Structure 1
């Protein structure tokens, strides 16, 4: 009886600590169909984290917002970027889909958001804008004043 009580007490303690031992929300990778579904059904915010030069060269996914995450040297200012993101989000838990050229930078940025900021509902588009364009999907042109669209 005493052994059972100790076992039950130990299990209860373990289960009470379990949530704090679990990792923060994980970044989810989405394909094109899932991105469209998130955008259309859940009002997900699509954020293109590439550079202005990249936006001008290949365009943007329609209804997405350009918000560079990494500069040309791979540096980022997380606080500044998050402040800009907060202005775009309709609610703090609005789903966000990150887009880059191939999916590598968006995965890195998304991991920073989910692991260091404990943000929920963060996704990244696998194969990035390259996959979007290769699949024959439309792009919107974003031509900053200093750059000419190609």
Structure 2
């Protein structure tokens, strides 16, 4: 599985690179804090594959990196995606590195 660090994600954002960010946490978690990604909870990821880009890098993100890793594995195995990256450490790593005031749970 390909992974990306929060620093690499920040660089992509700062450089206005073309990628898709998908947050696989539950809606209530997303509403608490998010990085402006598309919210598709893990439970629905396999039925909402039409919302996932195939023509650019897609970064999957959750709270700590476990659910997004599961999403990447499921999508690669069941739908053949090859452009997916897991955000190492999830939103907790982002908060620790860049936004200590960000509310997390």
Pairwise same-fold verdict (TM > 0.5): yes
Aligned pair count? 102
Segments of 4+ in structure 1 off by > 4 A?
138-141
RMSD between aligned residues: 2.4
Aligned equivalents of 1:139 and 1:119: distance in 2? 35
Alignment of 1:129-140 (within 5 A): 129-137=91-99
Aligned equivalents of 1:139 and 1:46: distance in 2? 21
| Counterpart selection for 1:36 from 6, 10, 14 | 10
Which residue does the alignment assign to 1:48?
A: 23
- When the two structures are superposed, what TM-score results if normalisation uses the length of structure 2? 0.80
Which residue does the alignment assign to 1:18?
A: none
- Structure 2: unaligned runs, 5 residues or longer: none
Pairwise CA distance, 1:77:
5.8
Change (3 A) 1:115 1:37: farther
- When the two structures are superposed, what TM-score results if normalisation uses the length of structure 1? 0.59
